[in-house]
Structure 1
Amino acid sequence: MLWVVRSHAPAWLPAFLFAAVLFLSGCSLLPKTDAAESDATPSAVASEGRAAGAAFTVDVRAPDSVREHLERHLEIQRFRELDDLGAVEISRLMVAAEANARELLNILGYFTPTLTLELVDTPGGKAPREVRITVDPGPITHVSNVQVDFSGPIAEDPASESQRDGIRTGWTLRAGQPFSQQAWDNAKTTALRSLTARRYPTGSILTSLAEIDADRSEAKLSATYGSGPAYRFGPLVVNGSQRYPADNVRRLARVPTGSDYDQQQLLDAQQRLASSGYFDSVFLTLDTSGADPLAAPVIAQVREAPLQRVVLGVGFTTDSGARLSIDHSHNDMPLLGWRAVSKLTLDRDTQSLGTDWSAIPDDSGWRTFTSALLKSEVSGSYTVDSGRLRGGRNKADGHIDRSYFLQYDYARNVGFNPPPSASALTLNWGWIGRYFDNAAAPTRGQGLGLELAAGYTLTGEQLPFTRTVVRWVGFVPAGTVSNADRTQSRNARIQLRAEAGAVSAADRAQIPSTLNFLTGGDTTVRGYGYRTIGAVKPDGQVIAGRYLGVASVEWQRPFVYDGQLTAWESAVFVDVGAVADRPGDMEPKVGVGFGGRWASPIGPVQIDLAYGVQVHKFRLHVRLGFTF
């Protein structure tokens, strides 16, 4: 990076000042002469008899936009605690401090500041003297022109035109914006990331120049990027795997061999391996040291997880209170070679025992799975004891999950005058698309989920039925929130949620209650208990119903404290939900409230206080993480 600063000041003046500072600093290292001692002020002589302490304090008098930066980075601050400094030595430090302050102001984009430095005696203060620095930063420099050029294959390849245009369009320090060293560095780094993220992983910055016209407060920026050769994914090379064949790792990772290098695809492959459960650590890199960039090997450095693992967990939710869980995983089942994960969960309202078995994906990414679940849970006014068997195929491909499976359900309601027990067999198809900017803590994008099932009841009269569920969540930008000096900003947003479900069957069909619907709780209608909103029987009992509707509007806004953006956000929301056995009987239940969102180190934390309008009660809801 090169700065060129243009000013009408004589060219010899900066050199003279710099030489003077070096000379005076060097003189301060020589032994003091009697003449130097005689020049010391009476207060300096008196200070020799004081106890060890600060020699001086520094008072920076400047606008808020620059004061904190100067106070934190001025080098003269390092000498305050040297208690043997006299007025002469401090004056010499002040000469260097002026040049240092100008350099710090240049970093912020102020190239024509006016500075006044004074040494003031403060006999009754924290130190005998005070260095007072008064700053008028002058006008901030603005960018007048930006030129981004390319060298190498990217400059000539027509297939890279969109990438070139994207880098130029995404340049973050545009004409008309204030110039600062941080913004300049960020703009160059962001552009380099865009270059190396696709096709050109060895790209670099060849030249960069910030040409500053101090008298006009203008900056002309130029940068040239060298692309290096275009790369394509070659074969996957696995290091560290002992128990599992390399072909299994390849099928889990699904690196798109032969396609153009894409950093996101490499990260997705790494995430697939890391989340498979077979490895404790995974790191994927493209080997750019080979002779053929069109078949660059992908190196997978892995550390295998234990063959079997038991994990004990404790937790708490506002829906179900304290929770205890025991997880057991087996990564290589005898004979099958599948992975099995079994889990026992116990909390106030739910006790469940389940196991999931899954095979290694085939070359197309589809895997065979089977699962079994026994559960006892409070649903509406009843306790439901249920069982479920499921077997089929699924595929997770980028942001889309697909599945199809055969499922058997059995449910028995326990309580006063319960609905009859029921069982059913269904053929199911599921599709989930996640189009978020961040899957763990999204602020933009949307997600859509579809579930379709068709089957027959097995208890009582055997009758056909269908089940349909649609879920959607979306984030709509709602302005930008910045810190006091507008150097940082985050988007406010409106989060919209909607869910609809329907079970279509004859009235006399005995549908298992686990296939019907209940709502209410942390993730649905806040202000109501978990799964307490359902169809109401004539005697007032609440049961799972055949039709479901849920909608939510939530305004999320970054929280600013003391002029700075924090890790917190505020939220206000309205939730509406209804369940009934007939669409015409649906009576919406409304919850309103406010809350906070904290971007914690382990994931987003959601804390809400909601008021259930129909039940006339407040309820606290706490949730960790985001799932869709």
Structure 2
Amino acid sequence: MKLFSLVLVLLLALPWASATELAPPVATTTQANAAFVINILAPDDIKELLTRHLELQRYRELTDLSDDELVRLMRQADQDARKLIGTLGYFSPIITMAHQPADASTPWPVVNITVTPGEATRIKQVSIQFTGAIATDAAAANQREQIQANWSLRAGNRFTQNGWDAAKQQALRQLTTQRFPTGRISASLADIDPETMQAHLQITLDSGAAYRMGALVVDGLQRYDTALVQRLARLSPGTDYSQADLVAAQQRLSDSGYFDSAFVTLDTSATPEAAPVLVNLREARLQKLVLGVGASTDSGPRLSVEHTHHKVPGIGWRAVSKLLLQRDNRAIGSELTSPPDSDNWRWAVSGLLQNQLLGTRDVTSQQLRGGRKQSNQRIDRNLYLQYDRAESVDTDTTQPVIAQSLSANYAFAVRYYDTLPFPSSGWGWGAEVGGGTTLGSAPQAFTRLLTRWQGFLGLDHGGSTQASASRLAMRASAGAIIAKDGISLPSTQLFLAGGDNSVRGYGLNDIGVTLSDGTITAGRYLATGSVEWQRPIRFNGNLSDWESTVFVDAGAVANKPSELKPKVGVGIGARWKSPVGPLQIDLAYGVDVQRFRLHMNLGFTF
């Protein structure tokens, strides 16, 4: 018990230490080749601006500068500094520049620049005017109101050049992304009164004509027809132009697998009432073979071979066949998928032959599935009939147990994350509902339910962006088989827990129903949960691609709800935002088994 308490303290303490911001090193740079040194005394924002952009900085290493030339450069620097400081809203600063010659204590001449910025200029009034179709179109009233409501540089705010530029660009984006793709800023004026320290802002947005989308004009097709592109793009002629709709259509075409590249744009040179939508495509290879080699802490070494045929002769469906070889899992399967219809639903037929270790039982299973599925940006749906057959053999017996079932199922997954594949907030929820019967001499009905949830909750956002703030990552799952006692179901329809994405500190599928002889089998009820604290790591004050984590997982599997007894895992870990997705590295302690276990996982899926 003392050992476990010591381990738990270390687990909880280490990420705090690793996430602590590292102190920046003390600068020790030399000025051996400098003609003079610039010393700026000013508020931080002004000091940073002058250090980066003051023209005088360019001449520091010209060692042949005379004193007269340096004095001339200092006069120019005064004017340059005033222009730069004006971009921050200070138009009447007091600037003093002094030249300190080299002496015994200072081996280089020093230019001392002292800035007293004075009062910042504040915005007194903002005038946003509209010309073109948006000015008189009643249907555009909401868009006009949104542009005005979202104007970021409001009366009373401090004027800065960057803020002024950003506000104009934001207004222009809001104008041109909906209905008015040729909109422009026809006039803009920032009228600064240095005496009153007030700014009067004026901007005129010329929308041009309102555009409606016309027919698709597709270029680059060889094997596929235009109808497939239309079903994937889902852009209806006659609807108002929307940049978001074009981007979504382009993404659907790219994600379909039929095309290596897709670009969707509106032809603004055509008639605005029915502007053609230009779709430029480059088709993917008809067939593709992918070899994969990898490893994971759950399943050991992995070898995979995947073949894709995008247009099977005779039926025109896509076929994806895969061979997978792992330490405790060997599988071969194939899926045929039809092209999508106008609502993005596809027919799908698949078969899978698999041999795997589930608990302590060696299970050889076959699965046949047929149905329809739909995949969208936020939600996936699947309706299917499924046949399962599983032959289970205990490691110490030779007599197999064979079970078969036939079921009808509906599954869905909803995703509302801010940024993928590195979410910092949002949630996802999925569920599966199925009902069917066992096959054999005494068929029995059953219902299978499974739900899972994942969420990210940002913490301490005061002064922090969501990406730089710590957060809680939470997940939970629950499953149940509702049937009479003694029902014989295929093991693949039952539940197990444990592993990288389940309960860390335990091996893959190590948590199940423990029989009297010590063997572990899948059970009828499942419950798992996890809470993980994630904190970004900073190096020298800068946000890095690494995060530290502290987590607690728990999970249970049983044949009766009253027998669910959670097994707990605690640990620490790190997350790396790698180029191919999030890398998860965790060291977990399984409280029930009293062992440490390393977990590694790559990618984000829900």
**TM-score class, shorter:** 0.7 to 0.9
Candidates 502, 507, 510, aligned match of 2:480: 502
Q: Which is further off, 58-67 or 497-506? A: 58-67
Q: 2 CA distance for matches of 1:406 and 1:371?
A: 11
2:65 equivalent in structure 1 = 85
TM-score using structure 2 length: 0.86
1:214 Cα shift? 4.4
Q: Which amino acid aligns with 1:428?
A: N
1:542 equivalent in structure 2 = 520
Q: 1 CA distance for matches of 2:203 and 2:546?
A: 37
Cα gap change, 1:188 to 1:536, in 2 (>3 Å): farther
Q: Which amino acid aligns with 2:415?
A: R
Q: 2 CA distance for matches of 1:347 and 1:173?
A: 58
Q: 1 CA distance for matches of 2:366 and 2:256?
A: 26
Q: 1 CA distance for matches of 2:353 and 2:413?
A: 25
SS of residue matched to 1:340 = strand
Q: 1 CA distance for matches of 2:339 and 2:393?
A: 40
2:431 equivalent in structure 1 = 450
Q: CA offsets, 1:250-298, max 9 Å, x none?
A: 222222333222222222221111111111111111111111x232221
1:431 equivalent in structure 2 = 412
1:252 equivalent in structure 2 = 232
Q: Which amino acid aligns with 2:423?
A: P
Q: 1 CA distance for matches of 2:329 and 2:275?
A: 51
2:296 equivalent in structure 1 = 317
- Is the contact made by 1:149 and 1:224 (CA closer than 8 Å) also made in structure 2? yes
Cα gap change, 1:600 to 1:162, in 2 (>3 Å): farther
1:424 Cα shift? 1.3
Q: CA offsets, 1:326-384, max 9 Å, x none?
A: 22111111111111112222233322222221111122322111112222233222332
Cα gap change, 1:233 to 1:444, in 2 (>3 Å): farther
1:239 Cα shift? 0.7
SS of residue matched to 1:59 = strand
Could you tell me which runs of 5 or more consecutive residues in structure 1 were left unpaired when the two chains were aligned: 1-51
Cα gap change, 1:440 to 1:255, in 2 (>3 Å): farther
Q: 1 CA distance for matches of 2:144 and 2:534?
A: 35
Q: 2 CA distance for matches of 1:260 and 1:69?
A: 44
1:570 Cα shift? 4.2
Q: Which amino acid aligns with 1:523?
A: N
Q: Which is further off, 337-346 or 473-482? A: 473-482
- Is the contact made by 2:362 and 2:395 (CA closer than 8 Å) also made in structure 1? no
Q: Which is further off, 87-96 or 128-137? A: 128-137
2:381 equivalent in structure 1 = 402
SS of residue matched to 1:109 = coil
Q: 2 CA distance for matches of 1:614 and 1:534?
A: 13
Q: CA offsets, 1:7-55, max 9 Å, x none?
A: xxxxxxxxxxxxxxxxxxxxxxxxxxxxxxxxxxxxxxxxxxxxx9443
Q: CA offsets, 1:155-198, max 9 Å, x none?
A: 33333333333333433444555443333322332332233222
1:101 Cα shift? 2.0
Q: Which amino acid aligns with 2:424?
A: T
Q: 2 CA distance for matches of 1:613 and 1:112?
A: 67
- Is the contact made by 1:557 and 1:569 (CA closer than 8 Å) also made in structure 2? yes
RMSD of equivalent CA atoms: 2.9
Question: Is 1:132 aligned with 2:117?
Answer: no
1:156 equivalent in structure 2 = 136
2:39 equivalent in structure 1 = 59
Q: 1 CA distance for matches of 2:587 and 2:162?
A: 40
Question: Is 1:109 aligned with 2:98?
Answer: no
Question: Which structure is higher in RCO with an 8 Å CA cutoff and minimum separation 6?
Answer: 2
Cα gap change, 1:586 to 1:142, in 2 (>3 Å): farther
1:21 equivalent in structure 2 = none
SS of residue matched to 1:421 = strand
1:210 Cα shift? 3.2
Q: CA offsets, 1:536-561, max 9 Å, x none?
A: 22233222111112223334444444
Q: Which is further off, 208-217 or 68-77? A: 208-217
SS of residue matched to 1:251 = helix
Q: CA offsets, 1:438-471, max 9 Å, x none?
A: 3433333332212111111124632111111122
TM-score using structure 1 length: 0.83
Name the count of aligned residue pairs: 573
- Is the contact made by 1:502 and 1:546 (CA closer than 8 Å) also made in structure 2? yes
SS of residue matched to 1:271 = helix
Q: 2 CA distance for matches of 1:405 and 1:603?
A: 31
Q: CA offsets, 1:79-103, max 9 Å, x none?
A: 2232321111111111111222222
Cα gap change, 1:503 to 1:220, in 2 (>3 Å): farther
- Is the contact made by 2:424 and 2:467 (CA closer than 8 Å) also made in structure 1? no
2:566 equivalent in structure 1 = 588
2:459 equivalent in structure 1 = 478
Q: 2 CA distance for matches of 1:524 and 1:564?
A: 33
Cα gap change, 1:254 to 1:71, in 2 (>3 Å): same
Q: How does 1:592-607 map to 2 (within 5 A)?
A: 592-607=570-585
Q: 1 CA distance for matches of 2:391 and 2:106?
A: 78
- Is the contact made by 1:372 and 1:389 (CA closer than 8 Å) also made in structure 2? yes
Q: Which amino acid aligns with 2:211?
A: Y
- Is the contact made by 1:408 and 1:423 (CA closer than 8 Å) also made in structure 2? yes
SS of residue matched to 1:201 = coil
- Is the contact made by 1:482 and 1:490 (CA closer than 8 Å) also made in structure 2? no
- Is the contact made by 1:192 and 1:205 (CA closer than 8 Å) also made in structure 2? yes
Q: Which is further off, 463-472 or 219-228? A: 219-228
1:618 Cα shift? 3.6
Candidates 97, 103, 118, aligned match of 2:98: 118
1:20 equivalent in structure 2 = none
Q: 2 CA distance for matches of 1:556 and 1:384?
A: 37
Q: 1 CA distance for matches of 2:290 and 2:201?
A: 55
Candidates 509, 516, 527, aligned match of 2:494: 516
Q: 1 CA distance for matches of 2:283 and 2:224?
A: 9
1:387 Cα shift? 1.9
1:275 equivalent in structure 2 = 255
- Is the contact made by 1:390 and 1:407 (CA closer than 8 Å) also made in structure 2? yes
Q: CA offsets, 1:289-339, max 9 Å, x none?
A: 111x23222111111111111122233333223322222111111111111
